[in-house]
Chain A
């Protein structure tokens, strides 16, 4: 089986590796619920959370995952404003090498920054979101959540809705879901659908109700406020009217369709509270729970040198 040195993206993974990671994560999910995690698996190992971009939830999720496996966890937050110079990024890499860090979790606002670090550090690098490129652990936790509810992660119709252009979550999910044999639809205004995306086998819709017809999974994305100031969407109320998920639009999907969101949500912009908080449809809280399990599986796998 292929070994995994870093987790920089879903690109480059294969279905066997993904399935193995999901199986391991599933076991951690069960252990987490029972409260009996192995606390010594990563004893003596150092995990550094290097965040160049604020993200309380992803950082906390990695921190919990590391601690539950017994690793020493250090959080380093570097404000993006002081790190626009790349020398600093590589200086940081040199510092981390000197600290004998084993696992390095990186979030950065520039696409490819974790890949650049991976060339320079000895640690296994985990991409926790880079610019508009990838967010692989999010796609894995989404896949695990789906598999737990649908019993499979293939042959499903998944609608990903909103700002596809600027979403690393969307890219990682498209890669994973198409690789595993699902039908992926992208829904959004033309200004937020990136060029050349249809070649990857997805179908693009600009009419949300049309795109949601018969969907098994409705995956919403966060709309950044900058998109409105950047002129890509005229206003949040117009966006909500056409691309916000409410009960009426959700009715087009299958009756048992799941509603997902990577968080944090903009209620009333991309999703209506009534849908987001509906326990029969929304699995948003479970996504957070599965996040910890998936990150434990990734840390565990990489700490063992990627042997599954």
Chain B
């Protein structure tokens, strides 16, 4: 089975310029790319003037609900949403029930991904047994089973001693610890970022400093141990400033953020909109701008969907009781492209943050358009628009913080290993 993409644009070898040309897919890999490739016998033709053919998106962090929370999302429903969003690889958080803290469970996630036929699932394993924050999980055995890094998901590794041990022990296997950067004590019971908005809504706050304090501590521990730390969903200018300095010093520090943190600010929770209740919480406008700046200057290594499926019963509660988290698979590309339209990122920058960079971080072959690479592809039109409507999104989880939002950037088709899985 072969497919010839014609009249499309793609990033050239330097990944700096969009060029018009053709891409030929054969046997599940990219066979050739360039001009006037000629049509092999039996090849399907895909033409899409004005559209961009990008590597399939690599989402470096999502929760899929399965096993244990199938009422929120299943791997099959998440795969459908991912395909509609142009995503062909997902690094999956271990916060399922049971949590992914055992090699057998790591195998389970990988094979469930293979079963979907449309998305590769790359499991994170628990940093601590049962995500309890008390004792280390079996990093060596988990790595051998296929775990990509260790994290307690949406729970910070709170104890300094344990974080030191985790960084140190993981470094022996050349593995990273992914931290939810939040001082657990300062954040306890909080529902919104501390400040005027939370005060007037009568909501318990989480100070922005809770993020910076955790980041500062863990950078210091990474330095102490020689370990590698990755900060998930960085949201504040202060924390990003610390990460920038740590990177300049050559420490093994990386970070990502998610679309809500560069597209929305705390005002989105007005009228107690629980779909905009996230963890970490949406921050101030100044912090949102700092996240945009850190995307542009390379401080942030990748954009993740931060997909956290929740169902209506998790969300139709008084704000403080509602479960935090937003659905993010299908909006990952469009919300990121808004930063291109507003001129804060170039198209190559935006695509790199969604493909090449997270793929490199995860050690995947995907994420690059080059001969011999897997034909995981996303074809999208950057100027065609659609509207986000909670309740009508692909997949099961409908808890999008972007409800009602008009998005420019429509996915026309998604291919996994050369096979069309969407569009």
Specify which of A11, A84, A86, A195 is in contact with B322 (CB 8 Å cutoff).
A86
Q: State whether the Cβ of A200 lies closer than 8 Å to any Cβ in chain B.
A: yes
Partner of A110, one of B207, B271, B320: B320
Q: Is the interface of B mostly helix, strand, loop or mixed?
A: loop
**Number of residues from A at the complex interface, CB < 8 A:** 27
A113 to B321, CA, bound (A): 10
Shortest distance in angstroms between B212's beta carbon and chain A's nearest beta carbon?
16
Interface residue B197 (Cβ < 8 Å from any Cβ of A): yes
In the complex, chain B residues 187-222 whose Cβ is within 8 Å of any chain A Cβ: 194-205, 207
Residue from the list A86, A168, A196 in contact with B317, Cβ < 8 A:
A86
Q: What CA separation (Å) do A200 and B320 show in the bound complex?
A: 23
- CB neighbours of B320 from chain A (8 A): 110-112, 131
- In the assembled complex, how far is the CB of residue B48 from the closest CB belonging to chain A, in whole angstroms? 42
| A145 to B195 alpha-carbon distance, docked (Å) | 31
Q: A226 an interface residue at 8 Å Cβ cutoff?
A: no
Which B residues are CB-close (under 8 A) to A85?
317
Q: In the bound complex, do residue B196 and residue A110 qualify as a contact, i.e. CB atoms below 8 Å apart?
A: no
Please report which residues of chain A, range 93-117, place their CB below 8 angstroms from some CB of chain B when the two chains form the complex: 108, 110-113, 115-116
Contact in complex: B196, A111 (CB < 8 Å): no
Closest to A166 in B: B202
- Smallest Cβ-Cβ distance to A113: which chain B residue: B318
Would you call A86 and B202 a contact (CB within 8 A)? no
For residues 313 through 361 of chain B, which have their beta carbon under 8 Å from a beta carbon of chain A? 313, 316-322
| A89 contacts the other chain (CB 8 A) | yes
Complex-state Cα separation, A115 to B195, whole angstroms: 21
Q: Tell me the complex Cα distance, A195–B284, Å.
A: 13
Q: Chain B nearest CB: distance from A107 CB in Å?
A: 13
Instruction: Find B319's partner among A87, A89, A112, A134 (CB 8 Å cutoff).
Output: A112
B195 to A, closest residue via Cβ: A196
Q: Is A264 an interface residue (CB 8 A)?
A: no
A24 adjacent to chain B (CB < 8 Å): no
CA distance in complex: A90, B313 (Å):
10
**Residue B272 is within 8 A (CB to CB) of chain A in the complex:** yes
Q: Does A26 contact B (CB under 8 A)?
A: no
Chain B, interface size category, equals 20 to 34
Q: B207: which A residues are within 8 A, CB to CB?
A: 195
Contact of A196 among B196, B271, B272, B313 (CB under 8 A): B196
A84 lies within 8 A of B321 (CB): yes
A132 close to B (CB within 8 Å): yes
Known: A115-B271, A115-B272, A116-B272. A195 touches B199 (CB 8 A): yes
Residues on B with C-beta less than 8 A from A108 are 318
Please report the C-alpha to C-alpha distance between residue A76 and residue B128 in the assembled complex, in whole angstroms: 46
Q: A residues 193-225 with Cβ under 8 Å of B?
A: 194-197, 199-200
Q: Is B202 within 8 A of A11, CB to CB?
A: no
Is the beta-carbon distance between B313 and A11 smaller than 8 angstroms?
no
CB–CB B318/A116 < 8 A = yes
Chain B residues whose C-beta falls within 8 Å of the C-beta of A133 in the assembled complex: 201-203
Q: Which residues of B contact A84 (CB under 8 A)?
A: 321
Residue pair B198, A112 in contact (C-beta under 8 Å): no
Q: Give Cα A132 to B322, complex, Å.
A: 16
Query: Contacts A86-B316, A195-B195, A197-B196; is A134 near B202 (CB within 8 Å)?
Result: yes
Q: Say yes or no: A200 contacts B318, CB within 8 Å.
A: no
- Is A300 among interface residues, defined by CB-CB distance under 8 A? no
A130 contacts partner chain B, Cβ-Cβ < 8 Å: yes
Q: Which of B199, B271, B321 contacts A194 (CB 8 A)?
A: B199
Least Cβ–Cβ distance between B56 and chain A, in angstroms: 38
Taken together as a complex, chains A and B put the C-alpha atoms of A157 and B319 apart, in Å, by 34
B198 engages A195 (CB within 8 Å): yes
Look across to chain A and name the residue whose beta carbon is closest to the beta carbon of B315.
A86
Smallest Cβ distance from A289 to chain B, in angstroms? 27
Chain A residues near B317: list those with CB within 8 A.
85-86, 89, 116
- A171 located at the interface, meaning its Cβ lies under 8 Å from any Cβ of chain B in the complex: yes
In the complex, what residues of B have CB within 8 A of residue A87's CB? 313, 316
Give chain B residues whose Cβ lies under 8 Å from the Cβ of A197. 196, 199
CB-defined contacts of B205 to chain A, threshold 8 Å: 194-195
CB distance from B277 to the nearest CB of A (A): 11
Residues of A within 8 A of B196 (CB): 195-197, 199-200
Residue of B nearest to A175 (CB): B200
Interface contact B199-A112, CB-CB below 8 Å: no
Indicate which residue in B195, B198, B202, B316 contacts A116 across the interface (CB closer than 8 Å).
B316
Binary interface profile of A, 62-101, with partner B (CB < 8 Å = 1, else 0)? 0000000000000000000000111101100000000000
Task: Across the interface, name the chain B residue whose C-beta is closest to A90.
Answer: B316
Residues of B within 8 Å of A90, CB to CB, are 316
> How far apart are A250's CB and chain B's nearest CB, in angstroms?
28
User: Are B318 and A168 neighbours in the complex by a CB distance under 8 Å?
Assistant: no
Which B residues touch A171, using CB under 8 A? 199-200, 202
When chains A and B are docked, how far (Å) is the Cα of A200 from the Cα of B319? 23
Q: How far is the CA of A130 from the CA of B321 in the complex (A)?
A: 13
Distance in angstroms between the alpha carbons of A76 and B196 in the assembled complex? 34
Task: Give Cα distance in the complex from A85 to B313, angstroms.
Answer: 9
A115 CB contacts on chain B under 8 angstroms: 271-272
**Most chain A CB atoms below 10 A, which of B198, B204, B318:** B318
Q: Can you list 5 contacts pairing A with B, beta carbon distance less than 8 Å?
A: A84-B321, A86-B317, A115-B271, A131-B202, A134-B202
Q: B interface vs A, CB < 8 Å?
A: 194-205, 207, 271-272, 313, 316-322
Which are the 4 A-B pairs with shortest beta-carbon distances? A133-B202, A196-B196, A86-B317, A110-B318
